[in-house]
Structure 1
Amino acid sequence: MNNEQIEIKMATAPQQLVEVALGALNQTYTPYSHFPVGAALLTDDDTIFKGVNIENVSFGLTNCAERTAIFSAIAAGYKQFKGLVIAGRTDEPIAPCGACRQVMVEFFEPDMPIWLINDTGKEIQTTIAALMPGSFNALK
C-alpha cells in the first residue's frame, strides 16, 4: 500500500470495532488463499455489522469482508454509517480492493473514517475520498 496516496490521520479506531474485526479473522472461509480478512461496520445508531471474506473455488465469486459487512447492513435496512475497521493478519495494515472501494463510494460519506489495521496493533485512519479520489458515483 502506498501511504503517499492515502490521507493518514492519527485518531485511534474505536476498540469495540477493532475487537469485532479482529475476532472475525477466525470466522472467514478462506480455504484457497489462506488470507483471512475481517471487517466491522458501525451504523448511525451504533449497531455493528461484522464481515468476513468468503471464498469460492471460482475466485470471481469470492466476497470480501468489507462488502459482506456493508451488504449485511444494507439488507438489515441501514443506509447511514459512522465508521469501518478492516483487519488482516498482515505485516502492515490491510487495504481494501478496488471492488470494495467502489461499493464504499456508493454507501459511505466521503469523509467517514475507515481504519486499516493488522493483528499486531498497526493502524491507519483514512477515508473513502482519500482511498478513491475522483471516484464515479451517479447518486452523489
Structure 2
Amino acid sequence: MLQQLKDAALKAQKNAYAPYSKFRVGAAIIADDKHIYAGCNVENAAFPQGQCAEASAIGTMITQGGSRINEILVVSPNEDYCYPCGGCRQKIAEFADAATPVYLLTSTGECTQTTVAELLPHNYTLPDEQHRG
C-alpha cells in the first residue's frame, strides 16, 4: 500500500497550484474505508487563504465518505522532508490516532516514517475525548 500512497501523492503533486512559492506538495491518505484520497497545495494571492496538500487530502476523504486516517504520506518538491505545518498536524490528529504512520517522501525518493504523536504530542481534542497524543 505504501507504493500506492506514493503514486497517488506524486500524481496530486503534479496538479498543485503554487504560482507564488513554486513549492508543489502532494499528500495521500489511506482511510478506514481502505480507499486512497489525495490532495495538493492550492495557493492564493490573498495569503494565507491557500490550502495545504494535507488539508486537501483530508477534505477529499471526508467529502467522499472516509472518516479516519490509517496512514498518510506527504511528498516534498525538493530533497528535504516536507513536514506538515502546525495547522495540518492538528488537522491530521483530528482524524487519526496517535500511532498513525506519517510518511515523508523527498523528490529523490528518500522516505522516512514518524507518527502523529511524534509530530504533535499535545494535540487538541474534544472535551469528552481521551487525549490521543
Q: TM-score, normalised by structure 2?
A: 0.90
Partner of 1:6: none
Look up the SS of the partner of 1:25 in the other structure: helix
Partner of 2:82: 94
Task: Please tell me whether residue 79 in structure 1 is matched to residue 75 in structure 2.
Answer: no
- The one-letter amino acid paired with 2:22 is H
Q: Which residues in structure 2 correspond to 1:1-140 (within 5 Å)?
A: 14-138=2-126, 139-140=129-130
- The one-letter amino acid paired with 1:123 is C
Separation of aligned partners in 2, 1:123 and 1:68: 21
Q: Gaps (5+ residues) in structure 1?
A: 1-12
Q: Deviation of residue 29 (structure 1)?
A: 0.5
Contact 2:13 / 2:39 at 8 angstroms: preserved in 1?
A: no
Contact 1:101 / 1:131 at 8 angstroms: preserved in 2?
A: yes
Choose 34-43 or 69-78, whichever is displaced more. 69-78
Q: Deviation of residue 67 (structure 1)?
A: 0.5
Contact 1:42 / 1:84 at 8 angstroms: preserved in 2?
A: yes
Look up the SS of the partner of 2:75 in the other structure: strand
Higher relative contact order (Cα pairs below 8 Å, separated by 6+ residues): 1
- Between the aligned residues of both structures, percent identity stands at 38
Contact 1:92 / 1:122 at 8 angstroms: preserved in 2?
A: no
Separation of aligned partners in 2, 1:26 and 1:76: 21
Query: How many positions carry a matched residue from both structures?
Result: 128
Deviation >6 Å, runs of 4+: none
